[in-house]
Amino acid sequence: MRTSQLAIDQIKIFEGYKDKTYLDSVGKPTIGYGHTLNVKDGMTCTPEVAEGWLKDDITPCELAIERLIHIPLTQGQFDACSDFAFNLGIGKFSGSTLLVLIKKGDMHGASLEFPKWDLVGGKVSDWQVKRRSWDQKRFLGLI
């Protein structure tokens, strides 16, 4: 399964497009739609290149979901997990109660885990609240 274009488009909104290198919230050089791999100060990109990087950057998340979850997922469930893993990291996804509940088939319980991941730098972030709300709704098939 792959992350849908609907989810890619939403991730682009959440990440925002930057055509020049900037430092993200943890001080990591970033460009495009949250791309960090081999980013150097002074780089530039087009929206098309940035979307290509985004799709490449999501691939490890998709592979992790396939490796970690051995029950069928809906497209919405897969998309929500993909965004979660992309945004917070595969390590946090793989160690989450969210994943434990999905593996047990408790999709309702799993959906209740998304809002718990709303912090940036130890503080509640309005943007993370919105992102996790989208993930939760997508997971439940409401989007």
Tell me the longest C-alpha to C-alpha distance in the chain.
Answer: 46
Strands of 1-143, DSSP E: 18-23, 29-32, 119-120, 123-124
Catalytic machinery residues? 15
Q: How far apart are the first and last CA of the chain?
A: 18
Cα–Cα distance, 14 to 31 (Å, whole number): 14
Retrieve residue 137's tokens.
């709704």
**Closest of 31, 36, 62 to residue 47, by C-alpha:** 31
* Angle at which helices 97-104 and 75-88 cross, to 10°: 160
